[in-house]
Structure 1
Amino acid sequence: MREGLTVALGAQRYRVERPWGDLPATPGGISDVACDAAGRVYVQYRTDPMVDPPSPGVVVLSAEGARLAAWGESIADGHMLTVHPDGRVFVVDRDAQEVVIFAATGERLGGIGTRHGPGAPFNAPCDVAFAPDGTIYVADGYANARVHRFAPDGTPQGGWGAPGRGPGEFCTPHSVWVQPDGTVLVCDRDNSRVQAFSPAGAFLFEVTDVHKPMDVHGGPDGTFYVTDQVPRLSWFAGDGRLLGRCRPVLNGAHGMWRDPRSGVIYQSELNPNRLTRLVPL
């Protein structure tokens, strides 16, 4: 029997488990992962609607990895997804120009943006996150360089960003996360940095010790994690100081999520196509 793998972030060690979960073999790539308050795991599949046959865009697993459900055949190009604290699932349907809102059971509840309407307001959006007060932030994205801000009911509240390399400018804002104190973290992927902003968009600081960061996600006590294309997973203090670093996946995780109940960190890989789980030891 081959030995298992162990990685560390600071003093915390993790057992590497991969491939993890009863995931179906479909034409889609495993693009993102998120957990709900009960620990259920939502796995985002990305397909090309022009050539791939219809298949579920979201697969739901138990915390033990058993397949519970699969839904979302209407998703055109699921890029990233996030589970709202109330259990709704927000899927960023990138090439359809919409953030689609689903019930946890897969029924469509609504959406933000104009479906198949580029520029109204999205242009190939990437990610969505929620502030503690319910404000919604969308990183937009591949053909835009902007962070949009919405009220909890989806009413537009402006935003910020423009193409460039200066503070508040972006080259592919690929992921967004909001910290418990309201700080907005944005993976400015092709500028190889993570930028931090106030809730209204004022620049606070940047982390440049990352290479094409793919996803940012909150950790315990106001810390945060960043996965990049080195590939590696980095753990930062709330002010951007490096706390730990490891290489838990083969070619870099496109998405990730930390289950606050267990401390398990999930990593979604596109090459090879699988889910990796880091279990605290």
Structure 2
Amino acid sequence: MKRLLLPALLLVASLGSALAADYKAVPDWYSFPDGKKIIGNMHGDVAVASNGEVYVSVMDPKAGLQVFGPDGKWLRNVPNAPADFHGFVIHKEAGGEFIYGPRLGAGNILKLTLDGKEVLNIPPSAIPDEFKSKTPKTKKGADGKDVPNPDADKPVVRLTAMDVAPNGDLYVTDGYSSDYVHRFDKTGKYLKSFGGKQPPYSFKTLHKIAIDTRFDPPRIIGCDRANGRVVHMSLDGDFLGVIISDLRLPAAVAVQGDLAVIGELKGRVTVIDKAGKIVTQLGDNTNPAEQGTNKVELDQWRPGIVTAPHGVAFNAHGDIFVSEYNIYGRIHRFDRQ
């Protein structure tokens, strides 16, 4: 019995791993009507609607959120979408499908319809000052020397990502400032803040978060970028532990089925299972000069090789989309076979 059972189990495990790990890069998968190659200066993200349309945030006031069809053809810009969206998601709920995202510069949190109509706008003042960082007392002058900062000690937020829990609560991370996560209900009412730079969290740039629906109850999965790790927290804010560490600046995370995909800013994409084990790694860039920089020129791009992943998303089929931090804008696609 043992001689039959062990090989059978190994075969099942091997097949499951192979299926989960089988992705194929799709070069030049998106296109514009005029044949241009440049999406635009990107410090943003990517999300996929239920109909397969791919939404891409760009730092361009005229085209803050661009939409591509499932076949990669450019379709439209989303009206009224800001140019400083950072860590936005698309969430389907009883009332329809909506875009949720924080504004990195302005500090407010938006809920928009897919065609750009504002449904909810939470101002930065909704977050208590005790959970905000303060601007420094000095800043760099034109000559590069420190000069007094007229905005010294002003409370600020630098919100970098958010997601929506099954009950509609909103979770937003202040990843470029305090490293706190701020929780609101679905109407925008502030509920609480947790996390931060002190133990047990000890975050250093909690850059992107997602609701991890692989668990019951769901959890928050977060990219603690400068610490090189991905962590779990409960929806009430308890620190549950480290999922995986020793990553190359994990910057973004998305969940589908039993898998989570992690975009690493220093040139790699890692897919893990529910237990935190690596299933596969994609786009590995071994050139240090191309890792984590937004200035890699178009003629240096290599199909299927990433430089600075900053956003990740799945479509319904399980294909993976990776947005780059890049002055020209670039979106990778890895199709699940």
CA distance in 2, matches of 1:42, 1:57: 10
- Whether 1:266 aligns to 2:329 is no
Give the 5 Å matches for 1:157-176. Answer: 157-164=191-198, 166-176=199-209
What is the aligned-residue identity percentage?
25
The equivalent of 1:92 in structure 2 is 102
2:124 equivalent to 1:114: yes
Which TM-score applies when normalising by structure 1? Answer: 0.85
Paired with 1:210 and 1:92, the residues of 2 have a C-alpha distance of: 25
Equivalent of 1:62, from 62, 65, 69? Answer: 69
Matched, 1:219 2:256: yes
The residue aligned with 1:276 is 332
Query: Is 1:81 matched with 2:114?
Result: no
Shift of 1:226: 1.0
Distance of aligned partners of 1:10 and 1:230 in 2 relative to their CA distance in 1, 3 Å threshold: farther
CA contact under 8 A between 2:120 and 2:188: conserved in structure 1?
A: no
**Cα distance in 2 for residues equivalent to 1:211 and 1:26:** 26
Paired letter, 2:180:
R
Counterpart position of 2:48: 35
Q: How many equivalent pairs are there?
A: 264
Unmatched 5+ stretches in structure 1: 1-8, 48-53
- CA shift at 1:244, angstroms? 2.2
Specify every segment of 5 or more residues in structure 2 that has no aligned partner in the other structure, as ranges: 1-15, 133-155, 284-303
CA–CA separation in structure 2 for the residues paired with 1:217 and 1:21: 21
Q: 1:254 and 1:10, CA in 2 relative to 1: closer, same or farther beyond 3 A?
A: farther
Report the CA distance between 1:70 and its aligned residue: 0.3
Separation in structure 2 between the aligned mates of residue 205 and residue 233 of structure 1, nearest angstrom: 21
Question: Matches of 2:225 and 2:256 in 1, distance apart?
Answer: 20
| Correspondent of 1:208 among 234, 242, 245 | 245
Distance verdict in 2 for CA 1:159–1:56, change over 3 Å: same
Q: Deviations over 1:106-129 (max 9, x none)?
A: 1222212338x9959760100011
1:80 Cα shift? 2.2
Q: Which residue of 2 aligns with 1:152?
A: 186
Q: Aligned-pair RMSD on alpha carbons? A: 2.5
Task: Provide closer, same or farther for how the CA distance between residues 262 and 59 of structure 1 changes in structure 2, counting only shifts above 3 A.
Answer: same
Q: Superposition pairs for residues 118-133 of structure 1, below 5 Å? A: 123-133=157-167
